[in-house]
Structure 1
């Protein structure tokens, strides 16, 4: 093999190496986009509606696989599209699922006739009715929907005002508070 053939082979192998790197990077980007869209995502908490469980500026991670299995459970914290003009993402706790009958009376939430035990609420927190579900009114959650409330009931814009949330509007269910680092917690 002469010197010219050796140089040609070197150039060809560098081109093949660059092509291989480009393919690997392309595959990595595609996997990351797929993962973010269908499996796992990061979000920031904006506002006090979930205090004391989540605070303003907390960084959370949501998983999305439970949405495809339609396995959202009572008590889970979910994120969803607000449906407003700017499509804000809201973070709230699931209080009722399809078939549950909810009522707000005596400053408490009743589900299927029983007062909820809500250890995540701050001591003395009262739950008042809203424009959709007022005090001493009963509401049955329809199929394909959930009923959500913020843990800071006095400032939360939730299903008491918005009505039930379609399962189609859900972005995921919160599984981790990652920041601030001194308050990392799994849900």
Structure 2
């Protein structure tokens, strides 16, 4: 029998005794914490790792981007010079797609994006998108390369009569426009026989569009032989371009020019009839009153009484 001090089993690497505090701390499942007043507390939940939450965040962002692109605004790139100097090649514009959902229709002077109404872009080269552009178009952040969209300025709406004679000015319902936005060196109208000289009345539900670079824009003037006679159906309009968003040095809004602030409305046939009838009614009324005065022994008007 060997004498000596008794060692704690934990000190020599053995298992703690069944009644020890160490056994209750390591072997028993972790119990809910108890507060000083005796109430149990739930153990704190472990936070998800960033990498587990990342796919969810990306999914939410893509859904929001798709909703914004479908119902609110969409970015479009300008590939041509037809709207110079208002828009330049490479500009990115944001197009308002919300207001058409509430029945708003294009108005004179607005710059609008519209789907190709009748093969206006036939024969035009289709740009080949890079992989990044393909991904962005697939999720809806960029228009697809297969989409055929154009951008022009609305010059006339349903009921308007648009006219170009000689080099201009362009007339809307007989009123000349002071088009300061037309590309420098261009005339408002073109002296050619392929559509530059015209006088048309816009049907209801259609618009007449022209580019600001008048001598470099194949717009409504040059498609008068298509199925829509050059007019663009309102339901083909994607929305109004409201701002140049890129590049930053080109940032600007796209308001309606002052040329369209004057009263350009076409007089309705009923209004014209009423305007013509008023003088006739007044003349007949005056004649009847004059006859009545003569019967009563009175005379009206200038002259010398005898």
With structure 1 as the length reference, what TM-score do the two structures score?
0.82
> 2 CA distance for matches of 1:107 and 1:98?
24
Check if 1:95 corresponds to 2:139.
Answer: no
Q: Pick from 58, 73, 76: which aligns with 2:110?
A: 76
> 2 CA distance for matches of 1:114 and 1:80?
27
Decide whether the 8 Å contact of 1:79 with 1:92 is kept in 2: yes
- For residues 57 and 21 of structure 1, do their structure 2 counterparts lie closer, same or farther at Cα, with a shift above 3 Å needed? closer
Check if 1:65 corresponds to 2:98.
Answer: yes
> 1 CA distance for matches of 2:241 and 2:193?
25
Decide whether the 8 Å contact of 1:130 with 1:160 is kept in 2: no
Using the TM superposition, give the Cα deviation of residue 29 of structure 1 relative to its aligned residue in structure 2, in angstroms.
2.4
1:72-121 superposed Cα distances (whole Å, 9 cap, x missing partner): 21111011112425652111000001111111112221110111121111
Report the secondary structure of 1:32's partner residue. Answer: helix
Check if 1:142 corresponds to 2:200.
Answer: no
Decide whether the 8 Å contact of 2:211 with 2:217 is kept in 1: yes
Give the corresponding residue for 1:118: 179
> 2 CA distance for matches of 1:159 and 1:45?
19
With structure 2 as the length reference, what TM-score do the two structures score?
0.52
> 1 CA distance for matches of 2:155 and 2:216?
17
> 1 CA distance for matches of 2:200 and 2:97?
28
Q: Which runs of 4+ in 1 moved over 3 A?
A: 9-15, 20-28
Give the corresponding residue for 1:156: 217
The answer to which of 116-125 and 51-60 deviates more is 116-125
Give the corresponding residue for 2:80: 47
Check if 1:36 corresponds to 2:63.
Answer: no
The answer to which of 54-63 and 29-38 deviates more is 29-38
> 2 CA distance for matches of 1:114 and 1:150?
19
Decide whether the 8 Å contact of 1:77 with 1:91 is kept in 2: yes
> 1 CA distance for matches of 2:73 and 2:193?
33
Q: Pick from 166, 172, 183: which aligns with 1:106?
A: 166
Structure 2 gap segments, 5+ residues each = 1-27, 33-42, 123-145, 224-229, 255-306
Q: Which structure has greater strand proportion?
A: 1
Q: Which has the larger radius of gyration?
A: 2
Report the secondary structure of 1:154's partner residue. Answer: helix
